[in-house]
């Protein structure tokens, strides 16, 4: 519980007073004796306190919880204030004690006002252990100075050593551990400073500190990034220990907040956003699944085309241009069930960093963004478990030491346990359907000697959707990584990592035995990386390394299913490629004002055989009929080589302590491409490697941003402008069929993209109300202007991309009512995305058909959605084994039918205009989560 | 594949497709010529219709192209000029030309304003026989008949199939009178031709029915669902007949129909493809960029007719009678106090005659019973009392 200490009498006029009251001060014997004249009828105690503070220049020190809801009927006529407090006491079962400074201490027990020197303290027994009130004149003075006192432990005087040993030496050594009570994690790097001096120490990796102190009383300040400043009063008699719990700076538990390790103003990377994992469980959810991507969507510069669309668009980039890493493993499918759920189990994540620009040279392979998600290490000290259950999914995770302090494991499982919503439907085809998904994430970490470490992590996710008992879809995602960190010397660290990623899906349809088939698709990626961190001088941070990526793609193939099937087998040739990249980058801290980063990456892509490469007759459009030559490459033969130099640059200049300007330039390239011809990325979209016809995608981006902090970094305001150009985007000819297309080259059109925008972010990091507001204005255009008419879209003119939604406003707000109850709101507004609509109709073969406008000339209605969540924590007694919490979420609280698309359909011989919305009602969800410590 | 994803969405939601008024007025682009014509291996005459596209927002009827010169040409053979029999409708003269399997045909058009268009050469491919048409009358998909087809090309030459269905059904107006209402108290006998009790109505199934066997080891189509015939418009009131026409088409024509289907029918899922302009086979002879919409088809036609009686429906799924809401109006005089009887009768008679004149009511029985038009006269429901020559009982 938080103790609310009112420092100054409130100057605001209380409009809450329901009865007339009058206060008088009267002088008796030259000394001011305050008296009270008042008449309160069933008035809140808080109102009375407020009035007294205003009229009598006194301040009340109390815990709001005690006062909350207490109503009092009391009257007084020129009554000395002490007597009035007596009356209040008998009416409220609280005790009021006023000291000579005019501070009124409110307690649940009688206070003994006698004081015996500075060291004296007295604990008054109360019903709850942590509701102690400590009274001592000088202590109170200190307390008043401490604005952010997290709890009243800070007022308690801790005796270190035994008083009888106090003459043994002049100093004592105080040691202990510093930890976060939320998860009992130790806090390394926390500082312990003797108040009023600059003397202090820093805690080690296990959060352990040790400080030498002169005998006598001291106040110690424990500080750690993101945590509240915590005070302890100690009386040193001799050596001793004091373990301290430092609470999160966020006043409520697990609040939604984006925090930066370094302050945003200091950080060089203008396009980096760190997502705080604690936050995730508080954001309103859909069907109870905390979803990291939902938080990403609320960041400036990130767009989504709507529910059910897998992937997201960063600064005008396409969904396949985001490099999504889970412990360094690229993840090809980040969703469950067609994009409605995230494939990441949020309980196991350590961090999630989104790089929209200013991407450093160690990252490569995608042209728009990097989303770097890390699995956390298991607890090195003790076993813990965590879990939750929602309407359709359940999850559990366990962690603990393998060998205490040196090795740990963590394992999380999540699965749907029911598809009951299907049973509620009247359509028999759907009643006979089923949907299932599950994922497992595991990591084991070893702390080796000399600061070296080794970690192995694995992730598996699967989806299964069966339609009407004869069509089955299956999706699999596997990720495996081994990371070894070696400290070579003080200046050089080596990170070796090997990763393997695999994504596959399959489809079976036996609804008609003669046409029964199965289809399979798979993409594999193996990475071998050697990355070095080199610190040649104090002000240089150099990273260099070598990355090898082996790609293997098994294009979508089809086989007959069963003996009676007439389907002809179609097994396309597997695609193989190797991307080798070397990079070096240096972050140079020139001065307090200026930090500069320069990086260079060169990537080399080799496409290997076996392969059949098509040449098309010169001077003719690329069509199957114009294939002039087919070159067959044998296994392992180099089919095509591309080399791309990539320059990365960023700089930060501080205009003032709390104001900085940042600039960045990135050049990126990409050799594997997702083939998507629909508005949103569809679950059956496949990836294809560059070849002689499909050139690597390339992107260039510049950005300029201004970052400002207010109020001791509590408030943050930033604005970033960017301009991005994309080359060799893949578009498709009219009517191109991407499935089982053996000569895809003939249906592909090369396009260019361009996008620009201005992002604003206002963030309040802490306090009872916290969260952020982001607004982005951005435009994204595509241009396909090939030589032949069938290689042009919209006659070769630039047209808006399908996700071009100029205005994008997001608000995420948390409000903490009490320590156990908080509310969270998520508001989204964005412009309607462009669509292609029919403009003319014609009669043909006895019916009416429509003919479409040029691409993306119209917009669907704007998207507005409000989500709400209330989170209720169980009580937090330390000795309790299981901590439970409830979350009640409502997705789409307004019940709006946001249009996903609009279209025309024939109804008889008439055309009717229709809109498709994914959700047309509010979706409430109740989730139970628990933690076992 | 799109089917299941949209169905998955349905599982999450209830009724996610709603009517929607577009906020913007969709303005049409410039007019474009639309060509709808064909030649078959069956006896002519063959018809080519020339119209224009119209703005979607306009309620007008598509403008027709009159005064054009329309020629059907056989490769290395004759060419015939069609005669404009109705505005915009051009027809070959009887026995002038007949399509032959294995030969190619082309359509040439010169519009009145001088613009010239030409189709590509279209080959008439042999179409195999229809083995069987089956129908399923169970109510699983709602009231009506689901048609299935079996066909195969033993030579394995056919890759792409298309079907049209022409339908005709017999129905009865339930409240037919053999008397004509002249005035109050006066009736006369109807002539036999005027008693419109039984009619036959014709229609065309508008679905685009296609199938490809290009990825099968045999050119065989078994149990292929053709169309679902709903029980609306009295289709299954007495007896229904469907004439299934089968065509083997080429890849270009297949892609054309598939394009129409992709952009006009298979829409409304969140993974819809980008809509696009569907390319036909007719282009401007001078500027290949200027296309005409539509397709000049040259096909061999194989037909099969089926009949379905109302009594064949299982009891549980028997369609509701089409004229279940026929109401009999009893037009009694309701005189206002103070009116003379003759004045009252006159006013009432005038009202009745007005209702009959505008067609709102039709005389049903003596003395003063009236009913809705469609219930008392089957021709008012769109059919004809003339029994088609191919009709079999």
Residue of B nearest to A741 (CA): B215
Give pLDDT tens digits for A162-178.
Answer: 777 766 777 888 888 88
Question: Which residues of B fall within a CB distance of 8 Å from A916?
Answer: 16-17, 268-270
If one compares A156 and A377, the residue with the highest pLDDT of the two is: A377
Q: Please tell me the least confidently modeled range out of A175-179, A344-348, B5-9.
A: B5-9
- pLDDT score for A65: 65
> What pTM was estimated for this model as a whole?
0.74
Band of the pLDDT at B9, cuts 50, 70, 90?
very low
- pLDDT score for B8: 43
pLDDT at A265 over 70: yes
- pLDDT score for B12: 43
Nearest to A845 among B29, B36, B275 (CB): B36
Determine whether the interchain pair B276/A735 forms a contact, defined as Cβ–Cβ distance below 8 Å.
yes
Q: What is the mean pLDDT of residues A751-779?
A: 91
Phi, psi of A671 (to 5 degrees): -115, 0
- pLDDT score for A752: 95
If one compares A209 and A140, the residue with the highest pLDDT of the two is: A209
Give pLDDT tens digits for A897-931.
Answer: 888 777 777 666 667 778 877 777 788 888 898 88
Q: Please tell me the least confidently modeled range out of A467-476, A757-766, B243-252.
A: A467-476
Q: What is the mean pLDDT of residues A495-519?
A: 91
Size of interface A-B (CB pairs under 8 A): 218
Determine whether the interchain pair B11/A435 forms a contact, defined as Cβ–Cβ distance below 8 Å.
yes
> What distance in Å separates the CA atoms of residue A660 and residue B301, rounded to the nearest whole number?
77
Taking all residues of chain B, what is their mean pLDDT, rounded to a whole number? Answer: 84
Q: Which of A47-56, A194-203, B255-264, B286-295 has the highest mean pLDDT?
A: B255-264
pLDDT at A134 over 50: no
Determine whether the interchain pair A919/B32 forms a contact, defined as Cβ–Cβ distance below 8 Å.
no
> What distance in Å separates the CA atoms of residue B242 and residue A710, rounded to the nearest whole number?
78
What's the 3-state SS for A676-716?
A: CCECCECCCCEEEECCCCCCCEEEEEEEEEEEEEECCCCEE
The residue of B25, B35, B89, B263 whose CB has the most chain A CBs within 10 angstroms, and thus the best one to mutate to test that interface, is B263
> A637: which residues sit within 8 A by CB, 6+ positions away?
A608, A609, A610
Q: A94 to chain B, minimum CA–CA distance in Å? A: 54
Determine whether the interchain pair A568/B216 forms a contact, defined as Cβ–Cβ distance below 8 Å.
yes
Residue of A nearest to B295 (CA): A844
Band of the pLDDT at B3, cuts 50, 70, 90?
very low
Q: What is the mean pLDDT of residues A644-666?
A: 93
A266-294 in b/e form (b: 16+ CB < 10 A) is: bbbbbbbbbbbbbbbbbbbbbbbbbbbbb
If one compares A724 and B331, the residue with the highest pLDDT of the two is: A724
Q: What angle do CA B105, B116, A786 make, to 5 degrees?
A: 90
Band of the pLDDT at A257, cuts 50, 70, 90?
very low
Q: Please tell me the least confidently modeled range out of A179-183, A409-413, A438-442, A724-728.
A: A179-183
Q: What is the mean pLDDT of residues A378-382?
A: 89
In this structure, the number of other CB atoms found within 10 A of the CB of residue B255 comes to: 18
- pLDDT score for A682: 74
Q: B71 touching A, CB under 8 A?
A: no
A513 close to A470: Cβ distance less than 8 angstroms:
no
Q: B337 to chain A, minimum CA–CA distance in Å? A: 50
- Please report how the helices A81-92 and A45-56 are oriented relative to each other, as an axis angle in degrees rounded to 10: 170
A728 close to A697: Cβ distance less than 8 angstroms:
yes
Band of the pLDDT at A799, cuts 50, 70, 90?
very high
Tell how strand A769-783 and strand A807-818 pair up. antiparallel
Phi, psi of A249 (to 5 degrees): -70, -20
Give pLDDT tens digits for A88-133.
Answer: 887 777 777 777 666 777 776 554 443 333 332 333 333 333 333 3
Determine whether the interchain pair B206/A847 forms a contact, defined as Cβ–Cβ distance below 8 Å.
yes
pLDDT at A601 over 80: yes
Nearest to B220 among A465, A566, A678 (CB): A566
Question: Which residues of A fall within a CB distance of 8 Å from B18?
Answer: 897, 914-915, 917, 920
What's the 3-state SS for A403-420?
A: ECCCEEEEEEEEEECCCH
- pLDDT score for A150: 38
Q: Give B193: exposed, middle or buried? Use CB within 10 Å, 0-12, 13-18, 19+.
A: exposed
Q: Please tell me the least confidently modeled range out of A222-236, A752-766, A852-866, B63-77.
A: A222-236
Question: Which residues of A fall within a CB distance of 8 Å from B270?
Answer: 306, 308-309, 679-680, 900-901, 916, 918
Q: B142 touching A, CB under 8 A?
A: no
pLDDT at B323 over 80: no
**Best CA proximity match to A551, nearest among A438, A707, A688:** A688
Q: What is the mean pLDDT of residues B356-374?
A: 75
Q: A283 to chain B, minimum CA–CA distance in Å? A: 21
The residue of A561, A849, A860 whose CB has the most chain B CBs within 10 angstroms, and thus the best one to mutate to test that interface, is A849
> What distance in Å separates the CA atoms of residue A397 and residue A916, rounded to the nearest whole number?
38
pLDDT at B55 over 60: yes
pLDDT at A541 over 50: yes
pLDDT at A776 over 80: yes
Q: What angle do CA A500, A505, A506 make, to 5 degrees?
A: 140
CA B376 to each of CA A717, B172, B177, B196, B235: distance values in angstroms, whole numbers, following the listed order: 77, 9, 7, 8, 18
- pLDDT score for A83: 83
Q: What is the mean pLDDT of residues B83-112?
A: 94
Q: B17 to chain A, minimum CA–CA distance in Å? A: 5
- pLDDT score for A425: 59
Q: Which of A109-123, A557-571, B258-272 has the highest mean pLDDT?
A: A557-571
- pLDDT score for A1: 31
B228 close to B145: Cβ distance less than 8 angstroms:
yes
If one compares B344 and A377, the residue with the highest pLDDT of the two is: A377
- pLDDT score for B74: 94
Give pLDDT tens digits for A137-164.
Answer: 333 333 333 333 334 566 677 888 777 7
Nearest to A840 among B12, B53, B262 (CB): B53
Q: A614 to chain B, minimum CA–CA distance in Å? A: 21
Q: B190 touching A, CB under 8 A?
A: no
Nearest to B260 among A465, A471, A849 (CB): A849
pLDDT at B186 over 90: no
- pLDDT score for B356: 77
Q: Please tell me the least confidently modeled range out of A382-396, A456-470, A645-659, B343-357.
A: B343-357
Q: A691 to chain B, minimum CA–CA distance in Å? A: 25
DSSP state letter for A383: -
Give pLDDT tens digits for A674-709.
Answer: 988 777 777 778 899 998 889 999 999 999 999 998
Determine whether the interchain pair A514/B274 forms a contact, defined as Cβ–Cβ distance below 8 Å.
no
Q: A459 to chain B, minimum CA–CA distance in Å? A: 26
What DSSP assignment string belongs to A719-735? EEEEEEEEEEEEEE-TT
Determine whether the interchain pair A837/B26 forms a contact, defined as Cβ–Cβ distance below 8 Å.
yes
Q: B182 to chain A, minimum CA–CA distance in Å? A: 39
Determine whether the interchain pair B14/A909 forms a contact, defined as Cβ–Cβ distance below 8 Å.
no
In DSSP terms, which residues pair with B179 in a beta bridge? Answer: B189
Q: What is the mean pLDDT of residues A329-335?
A: 89
> A694: which residues sit within 8 A by CB, 6+ positions away?
A673, A688, A728, A730, A745, A748
Q: Which of A91-100, A520-529, A786-795, B215-224 has the highest mean pLDDT?
A: A520-529
Taking all residues of chain A, what is their mean pLDDT, rounded to a whole number? Answer: 81
Determine whether the interchain pair A918/B270 forms a contact, defined as Cβ–Cβ distance below 8 Å.
yes
Tell how strand A59-62 and strand A71-80 pair up. unpaired
Q: A511 to chain B, minimum CA–CA distance in Å? A: 11
Determine whether the interchain pair B270/A306 forms a contact, defined as Cβ–Cβ distance below 8 Å.
yes
If one compares A526 and A295, the residue with the highest pLDDT of the two is: A526
Say whether B375 sits in a helix, a strand or coil.
helix
pLDDT at B199 over 60: yes
If one compares A307 and A1, the residue with the highest pLDDT of the two is: A307
> What distance in Å separates the CA atoms of residue A584 and residue A599, rounded to the nearest whole number?
6
B226 close to B147: Cβ distance less than 8 angstroms:
yes
Q: Please tell me the least confidently modeled range out of A19-23, A42-46, B312-316.
A: A19-23
Band of the pLDDT at A307, cuts 50, 70, 90?
confident
> What distance in Å separates the CA atoms of residue B304 and residue B327, rounded to the nearest whole number?
39
Determine whether the interchain pair B19/A429 forms a contact, defined as Cβ–Cβ distance below 8 Å.
no
Residue of B nearest to A466 (CA): B4
If one compares A50 and A729, the residue with the highest pLDDT of the two is: A729
pLDDT at A812 over 60: yes
Q: Please tell me the least confidently modeled range out of A469-478, A797-806, A870-879.
A: A870-879
Chain B, window 19-38: residues with a beta carbon less than 8 angstroms from a chain A beta carbon: 19-24, 26-29, 32, 34, 36
């Amino acid at each position: 519980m938080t103790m609310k200490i009112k420092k100054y009498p409130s100057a605001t006029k209380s409009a809450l007073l329901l009865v007339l009251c009058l206060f008088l001060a009267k002088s008796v014997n030259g000394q001011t004796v305050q008296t009270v004249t008042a008449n309160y009828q069933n008035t809140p105690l808080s109102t009375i306190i407020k009035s007294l503070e205003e009229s009598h220049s006194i301040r009340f020190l109390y815990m709001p919880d005690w006062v909350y809801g207490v109503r009092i009927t009391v009257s007084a006529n020129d009554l000395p204030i002490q007597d009035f407090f007596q009356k209040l006491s008998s009416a409220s079962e609280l005790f009021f004690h006023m000291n000579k400074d005019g501070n009124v201490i409110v307690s649940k027990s009688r206070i003994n006002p006698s004081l015996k020197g500075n060291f004296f303290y007295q604990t008054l027994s109360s019903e709850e252990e942590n509701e102690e009130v400590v009274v001592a004149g000088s202590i109170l003075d200190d307390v008043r100075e401490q604005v952010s006192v997290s709890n009243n432990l800070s007022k308690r005087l801790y005796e270190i050593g035994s008083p009888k040993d106090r003459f043994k030496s002049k100093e004592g050594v105080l040691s202990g551990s510093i930890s976060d009570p939320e998860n009992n994690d130790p806090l390394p790097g926390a500082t312990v400073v003797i108040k009023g001096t600059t003397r202090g120490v820093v805690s080690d990796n296990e959060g352990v500190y040790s400080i030498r102190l002169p005998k006598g009383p001291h106040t110690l300040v424990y500080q750690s990034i993101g945590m509240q400043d915590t005070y302890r009063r100690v009386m040193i008699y001799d050596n001793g220990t004091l373990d301290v719990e430092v609470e999160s700076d966020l006043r409520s538990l697990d609040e939604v907040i984006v925090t930066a390790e370094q302050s945003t103003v200091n950080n060089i990377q203008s396009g980096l956003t760190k997502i705080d994992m604690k936050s995730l469980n508080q954001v309103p959810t859909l069907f109870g699944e905390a979803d990291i991507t939902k938080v990403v969507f609320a960041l400036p510069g990130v767009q989504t085309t709507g529910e059910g669309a897998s992937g997201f668009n960063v600064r005008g980039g396409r969904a396949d241009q985001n490099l999504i890493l889970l412990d360094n493993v690229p993840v090809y499918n980040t969703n469950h069930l067609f994009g409605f759920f995230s494939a990441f189990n949020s309980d196991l994540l350590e961090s999630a960093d989104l790089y929209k620009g200013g991407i450093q040279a160690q990252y490569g392979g995608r042209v728009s963004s990097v989303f770097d998600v890390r699995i956390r290490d298991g607890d090195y000290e003790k076993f813990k478990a965590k879990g939750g259950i929602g309407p359709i999914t359940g999850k559990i995770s366990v962690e603990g030491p393998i060998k205490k302090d040196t090795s740990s494991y963590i394992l999380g499982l999540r699965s749907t346990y029911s598809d009951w919503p299907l049973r509620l439907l009247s359509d028999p085809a759907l009643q006979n359907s089923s949907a299932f998904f599950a994922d497992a994430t595991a990591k084991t970490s070893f702390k080796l000697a000399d600061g070296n470490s080794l970690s192995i992590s694995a992730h598996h996710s699967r989806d299964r959707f069966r339609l009407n008992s004869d069509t089955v879809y299956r999706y699999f995602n596997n990720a495996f990584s081994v990371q070894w960190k070696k400290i070579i010397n003080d200046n050089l660290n080596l990170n070796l990592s090997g990763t393997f990623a695999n994504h596959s899906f399959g489809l079976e349809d036996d609804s008609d035995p003669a046409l029964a088939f199965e289809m399979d698709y798979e993409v594999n990626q193996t990475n071998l990386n050697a990355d070095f961190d080199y610190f040649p001088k104090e002000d240089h941070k150099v990273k260099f390394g070598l990355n090898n990526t082996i790609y293997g793609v098994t294009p979508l193939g089809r086989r007959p299913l069963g003996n009676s099937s007439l389907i002809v087998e179609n097994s396309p040739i597997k695609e193989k490629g190797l991307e080798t990249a070397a990079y070096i980058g240096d972050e140079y801290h020139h001065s307090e004002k200026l930090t500069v980063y320069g990086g260079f990456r060169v990537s080399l892509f080799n496409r290997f055989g076996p392969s059949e490469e098509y040449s098309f007759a010169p001077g003719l459009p690329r069509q199957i009929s114009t294939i002039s030559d087919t070159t067959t490459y044998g296994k392992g033969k180099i089919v095509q080589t591309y080399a791309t130099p990539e320059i990365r640059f960023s700089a930060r200049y501080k205009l003032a302590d709390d104001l900085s300007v940042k600039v960045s330039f990135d050049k990126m390239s990409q050799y594997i491409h997702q083939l998507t011809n629909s508005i949103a990325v569809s679950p059956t979209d496949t990836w294809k490697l560059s070849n002689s016809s499909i050139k690597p995608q390339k992107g260039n981006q510049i950005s300029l941003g201004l970052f400002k902090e207010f109020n001791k970094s509590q408030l943050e305001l930033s604005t970033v402008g960017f301009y991005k150009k994309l080359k060799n985007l893949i578009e498709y000819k009219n009517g191109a069929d991407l499935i089982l297309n053996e000569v895809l080259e003939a249906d592909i059109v090369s396009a260019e993209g361009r996008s620009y925008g201005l992002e604003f972010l206002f963030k309040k990091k802490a306090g009872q109300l916290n969260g952020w507001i982001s607004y982005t204005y951005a435009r994204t255009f595509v241009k396909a202007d090939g030589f032949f008419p069938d290689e042009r879209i919209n006659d070769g003119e630039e047209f808006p991309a399908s996700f071009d939604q100029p205005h994008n406003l997001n608000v995420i707000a948390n409000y903490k009512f009490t320590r156990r109850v908080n509310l969270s709101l998520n508001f989204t507004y964005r412009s309607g995305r462009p669509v292609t609509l029919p403009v003319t109709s014609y009669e043909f073969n006895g019916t009416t058909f429509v003919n479409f406008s040029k691409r993306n000339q119209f917009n669907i209605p704007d998207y507005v959605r409000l989500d709400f969540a209330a989170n209720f924590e169980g009580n937090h007694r330390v000795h309790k084994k299981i901590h439970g919490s409830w979350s009640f979420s409502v997705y789409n609280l307004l019940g709006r039918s946001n249009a996903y698309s609009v279209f025309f359909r024939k109804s008889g011989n008439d055309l009717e205009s229709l809109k498709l919305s994914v959700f047309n009602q509010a979706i409430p969800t109740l989730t139970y989560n628990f933690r076992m410590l | 594949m799109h089917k299941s994803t949209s169905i998955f969405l349905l599982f999450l939601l209830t009724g996610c497709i709603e009517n929607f008024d577009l906020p913007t007025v969709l303005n049409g682009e410039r007019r474009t010529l639309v060509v709808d014509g064909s030649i078959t291996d069956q006896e002519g005459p063959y018809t080519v219709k020339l119209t224009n596209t119209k703005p979607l927002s306009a309620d007008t009827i598509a403008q027709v192209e009159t005064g054009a010169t329309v020629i059907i040409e056989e490769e290395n053979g004759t060419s015939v000029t069609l005669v404009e029999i109705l505005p915009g409708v051009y027809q070959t003269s009887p026995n002038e030309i007949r399509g032959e399997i294995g030969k190619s045909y082309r359509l040439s058009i010169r519009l009145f304003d001088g613009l010239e268009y030409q189709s590509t050469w279209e080959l008439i491919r042999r179409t195999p026989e229809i083995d069987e048409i089956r129908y399923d009358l169970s109510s699983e998909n709602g009231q009506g008949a689901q048609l299935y087809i079996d066909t195969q090309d033993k030579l394995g030459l056919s890759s792409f199939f298309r079907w049209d269905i022409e339908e005709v059904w017999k129905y009865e107006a339930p409240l037919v009178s053999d008397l004509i209402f002249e005035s109050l108290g006066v009736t006369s006998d109807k002539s036999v031709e005027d008693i419109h009790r039984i009619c036959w109505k014709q229609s065309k199934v508008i679905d685009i029915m296609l199938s490809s066997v290009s990825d099968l080891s045999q050119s065989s189509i078994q149990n292929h669902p053709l169309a679902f015939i709903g029980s609306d418009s009295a289709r299954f009131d007495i007896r229904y007949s469907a004439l299934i026409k089968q065509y083997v088409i080429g890849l270009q024509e297949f892609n054309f129909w598939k394009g129409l289907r992709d952009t006009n029918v298979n829409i409304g899922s969140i993974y819809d493809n980008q809509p696009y302009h569907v390319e036909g086979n007719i282009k401007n002879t001078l500027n290949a960029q200027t296309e005409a919409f539509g397709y000049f088809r040259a096909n061999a036609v194989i037909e099969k007719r089926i009949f379905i009686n109302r009594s064949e429906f299982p009891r549980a799924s028997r369609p509701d009678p089409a004229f279940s809401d026929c109401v009999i109006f009893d037009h009694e005089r309701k005189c206002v106090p103070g009116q003379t009887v003759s004045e009252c009768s006159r006013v009432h008679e005038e009202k009745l005659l007005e209702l009959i004149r505008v067609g709102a009511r039709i005389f049903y029985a003596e003395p003063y019973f009236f009913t809705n038009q469609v219930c008392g006269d089957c021709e008012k429901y769109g059919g004809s009392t003339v029994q088609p020559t191919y009709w079999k009982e």
